[in-house]
Chains A and B, each alone.
Chain A
Amino acid sequence: MNFYRSSQKLCLYGAAMLFLMVCTTFFLFSHGVYAEEQLVYDYAGLLKEDEIENLESIAQEIGSQYNTTIYIITDNNSKGLSRKRYLEDFADSKEVTNSVIIFVNMEPGNRGVEIQGYGQDEFRMNNSRIEFVLDEVVPHLSNGDYYTAFTTFLEKTRYYLGKDPSEDKVIRTPNPNYAGSDKNYQKELRRNNIFYNIWFQLLVSLGIGGIVAGVLVHNSGGKVTVNDRTYLDSQNSRVVDHWDRYIRTTTTKVRNSSSSSGSSSSSRSGGSGVSSGGRSHSGGGRSF
């Protein structure tokens, strides 16, 4: 009897807790997506006041329609980061879930544009689609018509978010010159390359130093200078019999990892990758 009563009590507590949790989640969720959040960050000052307002409202509209957040960022200086890293850090700072972000870097000598898709948009805005969007956006950027570039970006994004990526008839491969389009990206690649790592280089240097010192010590007492031919009577030495008979050939084949298309999430080619905060994303970019 006692047991029955206490279990009933427990059920009541549980139901109350669940209700509270659902409420909190709903509140947080609605607050996160539908709040009037800043979506355009024009640090480079490329847009007029009314243009920014206009872009904000379109981005807001698309975002609520497709359960995502669209950001537009411009900057004069990427602080030595590649466009890719810059966007990844931005996405981490905003703790984005679903998001499409465009970044225009106006850094002198390293101007470029980058688009990334996070969460669900890693697939809805995959590498192939980003290439198509860039095709339309880059000419406007080159002409200095930034507002048109961003409205084009928003309209193309709206178009693609409403279409299932598996229905795409043409799949674009990522920009082959992706790494070359951003000076800072090349530096970052090298920094991640073990041969450019200072500790690795130190280790190699110490190794070579050790080998040189070791050889000097080893040879300090004279070295053996006879070899297997020193005492050979070459005129009276020969191969008496020999053959090299072919037996068989076996063939194995391995699929090339580099040729898989950009639509799958496993692809890390071009501008796609994972941010330091662990956010996987699609991406692509060009200089202009």
Chain B
Amino acid sequence: MVLQYKCPNCGADMVFDSESGMLACQSCGRKEDVEEYSEEHEWFQDQESQHTFKEGEVNEYHCNNCGAVIVSDADTTATTCSFCGAAVVLNDRLTGSLAPSVIIPFSISKEQAGNAFKAWCKNGLVTPSGFMTADRIKNITGLYVPFWLYDLNGKGEVKATCTKVRRYTRGEYTYTDTSYYDVYRKVDLNFFLVPADASSKMNDELMDKLEPYNYQGLKDFNTPYLAGYIAEKYNYTHEELFDRVKNRVEKYVDAYIRSTIQGYSSTTYNYKQINIRRKRVQYALLPVWMVYYNYKQKDYLFAMNGQTGKIVGKPPLSAQKILAWFAGTSVGVFLILRIITSLLGGGF
């Protein structure tokens, strides 16, 4: 089933507008509230192809405007018609177990994303100067990446032997007192909405760096949010990704316990038990601007948090600039050391 949002005024295609957070008609400028935009409104529904989507199924979808085949792979849930540019949502891939429960809509527009990217490139301290002009953006794509958001409970128990060391001098001797303590901590921690990237196409490391998202912007899922963007469905279930999240949160619990053991010279764990329990998992779509950039016949991929504007990705590096930083800092530090030395009257 293909969903397209038609303007009630003029019948043109409507897309989600990141600035107002509403569906906007690009022809007449009419804006519709996403939450209130119910099925009462007339929209195009391809009644014939109404069926539930099955895993791995390659379906052929047709654009309701021009009738052309919508080019999409098996993971796509929203895209634009490559012929007429109409925003289409493949609704049957967003139902049942594939229905997202929450979404953070884009709050940065394509134009803002491009400008922010250029500004970021200019601030690059070790990128080649040719790259810094950022005039070779091949493509900027707004993408809703599927994430699992875990609400977790972490219980941790630690037994440790800690020491306090005191040194003092009496007469000709220096005494060292080492006091031993038996230390115990039991914590009960709750974490909310720990994200894990559920798309196989996305680099996990890159996605982790995109965090944090501001969860104040979290909304109940509604298909109109996808209009005008590309969206994907998850490839990994939340069970499959739980180990990854568990490892991550175990570290958080450990760090929390460590922060409660203070005032000691040394700490040795004798016993450590950390249990992570899943309380709730939500399927979420989070906004990412993907920037494809070409520099010296090489393609570079950058990702921008579609809500906060944070940019991550591996930029080209300039050996010259790295060397300049290295040499400049070294010479600077060396000179300062020499000046201090000569002021103190030593050295040669």
A residues near B (Cβ < 8 Å) are: 183, 186-187, 189-191, 193, 196, 198, 201-202, 204-206, 208-210, 212-213, 216-217, 220-226, 228-233, 236-256, 259
B39-47, B61-69, B250-258 - the one binding chain A: B250-258
Q: From B175, B182, B346, give the contact of A193 (CB < 8 A).
A: B346
Question: Which chain B residues numbered 175 to 189 have a C-beta less than 8 Å away from chain A?
Answer: 175-189
Q: Are A242 and B185 in contact, CB atoms less than 8 angstroms apart?
A: yes
List, in ascending order, chain A residues with CB within 8 A of B348's CB: 191, 198
Q: From A187, A205, A206, A233, give the contact of B345 (CB < 8 A).
A: A187
Q: Are B326 and A213 in contact, CB atoms less than 8 angstroms apart?
A: yes
Q: Are A191 and B346 in contact, CB atoms less than 8 angstroms apart?
A: yes
6 A-B pairs with the lowest CB-CB distances in the bound complex, closest first = A190-B346, A209-B330, A222-B312, A205-B334, A228-B252, A228-B255
Q: A221-B209, A229-B252 known; 8 other A-B pairs, CB under 8 Å? A: A209-B329, A213-B329, A216-B125, A222-B313, A239-B187, A240-B186, A253-B176, A259-B172
Given A228-B251, A237-B187, A242-B185, do A220 and B178 touch, yes or no (CB 8 Å)?
no
B188 CB, nearest partner CB in chain A, Å:
5
Quick one: closest A residue to B175, CB to CB?
A253
Of the candidates A198, A201, A252, the one having the most CB atoms from chain B within 10 angstroms of its own CB is: A201
B11-19, B226-234, B269-277, B314-322 - the one binding chain A: B314-322
Q: Are A253 and B347 in contact, CB atoms less than 8 angstroms apart?
A: no
CA distance A251 to B251 in the complex (A): 36
CA distance A202 to B249 in the complex (A): 43
List, in ascending order, chain B residues with CB within 8 A of A239's CB: 185-187, 260
List, in ascending order, chain B residues with CB within 8 A of A204's CB: 333, 337
> Can you list 20 residue pairs at the A/B interface with Cβ under 8 Å?
A191-B347, A201-B338, A202-B334, A205-B337, A209-B325, A209-B327, A223-B209, A226-B211, A226-B212, A230-B212, A231-B194, A233-B192, A237-B187, A237-B190, A238-B189, A242-B260, A244-B162, A249-B177, A253-B176, A259-B172
List, in ascending order, chain A residues with CB within 8 A of B126's CB: 213, 216-217, 220
Q: Are A213 and B322 in contact, CB atoms less than 8 angstroms apart?
A: yes
Given A225-B310, A248-B179, do A190 and B326 touch, yes or no (CB 8 Å)?
no
- Tell me if B191 is interfacial: C-beta within 8 Å of chain A: yes
Q: Are B325 and A252 in contact, CB atoms less than 8 angstroms apart?
A: no
Quick one: closest A residue to B256, CB to CB?
A228
List, in ascending order, chain B residues with CB within 8 A of A244's CB: 162, 181-183
CA distance A229 to B253 in the complex (A): 10
Q: Are A252 and B184 in contact, CB atoms less than 8 angstroms apart?
A: no
Q: Are B333 and A205 in contact, CB atoms less than 8 angstroms apart?
A: yes
- Tell me if B102 is interfacial: C-beta within 8 Å of chain A: no
Given A221-B312, A237-B188, A245-B182, do A251 and B124 touch, yes or no (CB 8 Å)?
no
List, in ascending order, chain A residues with CB within 8 A of B282's CB: none
List, in ascending order, chain A residues with CB within 8 A of B255's CB: 228
Q: Are B346 and A187 in contact, CB atoms less than 8 angstroms apart?
A: yes
Given A225-B212, A249-B178, do A216 and B189 touch, yes or no (CB 8 Å)?
no
Q: Are B179 and A255 in contact, CB atoms less than 8 angstroms apart?
A: no
Q: Are A251 and B314 in contact, CB atoms less than 8 angstroms apart?
A: no
Q: Are B179 and A246 in contact, CB atoms less than 8 angstroms apart?
A: yes
Q: From B169, B189, B190, B328, give the contact of A256 (CB < 8 A).
A: B169
- Tell me if B127 is interfacial: C-beta within 8 Å of chain A: yes
List, in ascending order, chain B residues with CB within 8 A of A252's CB: 175-176, 178
Q: Are B347 and A196 in contact, CB atoms less than 8 angstroms apart?
A: yes
List, in ascending order, chain A residues with CB within 8 A of B186's CB: 239-242
List, in ascending order, chain B residues with CB within 8 A of A187's CB: 345-346
Q: Are A201 and B175 in contact, CB atoms less than 8 angstroms apart?
A: no
Q: Are B326 and A246 in contact, CB atoms less than 8 angstroms apart?
A: no
List, in ascending order, chain B residues with CB within 8 A of A240's CB: 186-188
Q: Are B188 and A238 in contact, CB atoms less than 8 angstroms apart?
A: yes
List, in ascending order, chain B residues with CB within 8 A of A245's CB: 181-183
List, in ascending order, chain A residues with CB within 8 A of B334's CB: 201-202, 205
Question: Which chain B residues numbered 182 to 208 have a C-beta less than 8 Å away from chain A?
Answer: 182-194, 208
- Tell me if B341 is interfacial: C-beta within 8 Å of chain A: yes
List, in ascending order, chain B residues with CB within 8 A of A251's CB: 175-178
- Tell me if B331 is interfacial: C-beta within 8 Å of chain A: yes
A211 CB, nearest partner CB in chain B, Å:
8
B121 CB, nearest partner CB in chain A, Å:
11
Q: From A196, A202, A224, A238, give the contact of B187 (CB < 8 A).
A: A238
- Tell me if B174 is interfacial: C-beta within 8 Å of chain A: yes
Q: Are B181 and A205 in contact, CB atoms less than 8 angstroms apart?
A: no
